[in-house]
A and B are shown apart, each in its own frame.
Chain A
C-alpha cells in the first residue's frame, strides 16, 4: 500500500448568517460538519451526495480556497490548515482543481494559450516565453486538443473542449493531487465518457491522486477506488467502490443506490423513495442527521451522533444500527 497523500480530520465549515441592524452572527450554515477521510497516493476517492450535502465545500476547503472553521488538513504529512498565504504557495503547485462549469471556469478575455500559461508564469516554470509556449502545446496535446487552439478564445470551444482546457490548466503545474469538482455534471452524456476516460488515462499516466466529486453514482463507481457518501455535511459511509455498490451498509446509501436506473426494463426491484427534502443545514436534526428520512430510525437515533466506524475491513459507516442491511 502506498502512503497517505491527503488526510482530513474532523473538517468543519460553518458559514455565518448575519442578521439584524448590527449584522451580528445569528446562526450558521453547517455546510461541512466533521468530515474525516484520507486518500492514498495514486488513489481515486469518489465523493457522492445530493445537492447541498457539502461535497463541493469539502473539495474547496481541502485546497484552502475556503477557510475551514475547524479540523485539520494534512497534505503529504504537513499540516496546511493554518499556513499563511505565502507558505501555501508551494502547495498550490502540488494540488489543483477542475471545475464543474466549463463556461465560467475560463476567463472569457484570455486566449487559451494565456490561460494555460498562467500557472507556469505564477510558479516560474519555463524561463522564456518560447519554453512556456512549448509546454502549453504539450499540455494541449496531452488533453486531446491541438496546439493550434492556443490563440483562440474560450467561447470558440464546446463544453467538452473547454473542460479539457480546464484540465490542461490544472495539469500545467504538474500536480500530485487534483480535486475534480463534478467535472462531467455539466456535459452531454456522450461527452461525459470522453472526459472521464481522459481523467482515467491521465491518472494512470501521471500517477495522479484524485478526489472525484459527483452526484452521478455510475460515473463515480467507474473511476473511483473508494467512495465516500455524504449527507448534510457528514460522511455516512465510506468503502471500496465495489463493496459499497454491492453491499451498502448505510440506509442512506441503500436508498441512493436504489435510485440508480438499471438499463434493463425486465429487472424489477424495490425503489426506496425518501420522504421529504434534505433538512436545513442551518438547523440539522439532532443525533443522526439522516434519521428524519430513514426507514430504520429508532428513538435512540435522535440521541447519539453516530460515529464513522469500521464494520467490515475498509468499510466504514455512521449508523448505530448494526442489525440492518
Chain B
C-alpha cells in the first residue's frame, strides 16, 4: 500500500483554511479592524482621554458644551460637555459585548434546536405516561412502577408549571380581555387538552421537528422591531413581575442583559433552520449509520459526528450575526429602548445627536461611522470565512 503523501502538518484543515482566508483581502482587513476594536474595548480606560460620563461643573459650564473638535477634545464635546472620543471608546465595549454575547448565545441555542429538529425529523419521540400505559416488554416490574409514579409527578408538575407561568404573565403583563389574554388562554387550554388526551392514551408522541420548526415559522412571522420595543419596555417596567425580576437579578447592568436576552430570543431562528437542514442531510451519511451500528447514543451521534460537520456554516452565521446584533442594539438604543444613558453606546449617542445634527454635526458622525465600520468588518470577515471554510473553493 502506498502511504499517504505530503506531511500531515501542511495539510491540516486549519492550515488550509488559514491560507485561503489570508488570500481574501477584505476579510483580512475586516479581521484587523475587529482586532483593533477589541483591543480598544479592553483597554478603554487607558486610551480614553476623559471619563466618558464626567460632566463639567462649576461656574460658566456653558463654555464646555458643544465644543467642536479641538486639540483638547479631538472629537469635540456633547450637549453636556462630555468628551465624544471617550464616549466612542467606551461605547465600543457595549457594542462588542452585545455583539459577541448575542451571536454566541443565539448560535449555541440555534445549533441545539436545529440539531434536535433535524435529527429527530420523521422520528417522533414516544413517552409512555399516564394510568393506561400498557406494560411493555423488557421492563422490570419495579422499574415500571417507579417510572409510573415518577411520570405522574413529571407530567402534572410540568402542567402546573406551565399554568402558573401563564397565569403570572396574564395577571401582570397582559390585561384581562385583551387579545393577548385570549391567545394565552387558548394556548394553555390546547396544551392541557393535548397532554390530557395523550396522557389518557398512555403515550405522548413528541415530534421535536414539528414542535421546533413550527415555532421558528411562527416567530419569523412576528415583526421583530415593534415586539422588541414592547418586550424591552415590559422587562424594564418595575410594575411588571418580569421587569422586577430582571432588575433584581442584573441590577444596574439590567439594560445590557435585557438587550442581549431580547436579541437572542429572535436571533437563534436563522441558525436553527440552517443547522436543521444540514443535519437532515448529514444524518443519512454512512458514518452516522456506522455510529448507530456501533451502538452509539443519539447524543453521541448528534454532537460528536453531525454537529462538527456543520461547523463551517455555523461559524459564518455567528460572524454575520455579530454585525447584525450590533446594528439592532444601536437601533434599539437610538429609539430609546436599549441601553439607557448615562452609559455611552453608539446607538444612544446617535439619539442625542439627532437634535443637533445641523448645529453640532461632530456628535452624529463618529458613532455612525463606528457602527458602519464595525458591521462592515464583521460582514467581510463572514464572507471570507464562508469561502475559506468551503472545501470546494480553491482560492
| B-binding residues in A (CB < 8 A) | 60, 63, 65, 82-84, 87-89, 92-93, 96-97, 99-101, 104-110, 118-119, 122-123, 144-146, 149, 151-153, 156-158, 160-161, 166, 169, 173
Q: Which residues of B contact A144 (CB under 8 A)?
A: 1
B287 at the interface (CB under 8 A from A): yes
B286 at the interface (CB under 8 A from A): yes
Q: Which residues of A contact B1 (CB under 8 A)?
A: 144-145, 160-161
Please, how many angstroms separate the alpha-carbon atoms of A89 and B13 in the complex?
A: 34
- Which of B289, B304, B311 makes the CB contact (< 8 A) with A65? B289
Please, how many angstroms separate the alpha-carbon atoms of A158 and B12 in the complex?
A: 17
What is the chain B residue whose CB lies nearest that of A101? B286
Q: Which residues of B contact A87 (CB under 8 A)?
A: 138
For the complex with contacts A105-B286, A151-B8, 18 further pairs of A-B residues with Cβ separation under 8 Å are A65-B289, A65-B293, A84-B137, A89-B295, A92-B294, A99-B286, A100-B286, A104-B285, A107-B309, A108-B309, A110-B305, A110-B308, A118-B296, A122-B300, A152-B8, A153-B12, A153-B13, A161-B4
- A107 near B137 with CB under 8 A, answer no
- A123 near B8 with CB under 8 A, answer no
Q: How far is the CB of A187 from chain B (nearest CB, A)?
A: 13
18 A-B pairs (CB sep. < 8 Å): A63-B293, A65-B292, A84-B138, A89-B295, A92-B295, A99-B289, A108-B309, A109-B309, A110-B304, A118-B294, A123-B295, A149-B3, A152-B4, A152-B8, A153-B13, A156-B11, A158-B4, A166-B290
Q: How far is the CB of A233 from chain B (nearest CB, A)?
A: 21
What is the chain A residue whose CB lies nearest that of B122? A18
B222 at the interface (CB under 8 A from A): no
| A-binding residues in B (CB < 8 A) | 1-4, 6, 8, 11-13, 136-138, 285-287, 289-296, 300, 304-305, 308-309, 311
- B138 near A97 with CB under 8 A, answer no
What is the chain A residue whose CB lies nearest that of B3? A146
Please, how many angstroms separate the alpha-carbon atoms of A101 and B285 in the complex?
A: 10
Q: Which residues of A contact B305 (CB under 8 A)?
A: 107, 110
Q: How far is the CB of B315 from chain A (nearest CB, A)?
A: 13
Given that A84-B138, A152-B8, A153-B13 are known contacts, is A99 also in contact with B309, CB under 8 Å in the complex? no
Given that A104-B285, A156-B8 are known contacts, is A83 also in contact with B138, CB under 8 Å in the complex? yes
- Which of B8, B290, B296, B308 makes the CB contact (< 8 A) with A97? B290
Q: How far is the CB of B17 from chain A (nearest CB, A)?
A: 13
Please, how many angstroms separate the alpha-carbon atoms of A100 and B294 in the complex?
A: 17
Given that A104-B285, A107-B309, A156-B11 are known contacts, is A96 also in contact with B4, CB under 8 Å in the complex? no
Please, how many angstroms separate the alpha-carbon atoms of A108 and B282 in the complex?
A: 12
Q: How far is the CB of B302 from chain A (nearest CB, A)?
A: 13
Q: How far is the CB of B310 from chain A (nearest CB, A)?
A: 10
- B294 near A122 with CB under 8 A, answer yes
Q: How far is the CB of B159 from chain A (nearest CB, A)?
A: 27
Please, how many angstroms separate the alpha-carbon atoms of A319 and B3 in the complex?
A: 51
What is the chain A residue whose CB lies nearest that of B8? A152
Q: Which residues of B contact A119 (CB under 8 A)?
A: 294
Please, how many angstroms separate the alpha-carbon atoms of A107 and B304 in the complex?
A: 9
Please, how many angstroms separate the alpha-carbon atoms of A217 and B102 in the complex?
A: 59
Given that A104-B285, A145-B1, A160-B1 are known contacts, is A99 also in contact with B290, CB under 8 Å in the complex? yes
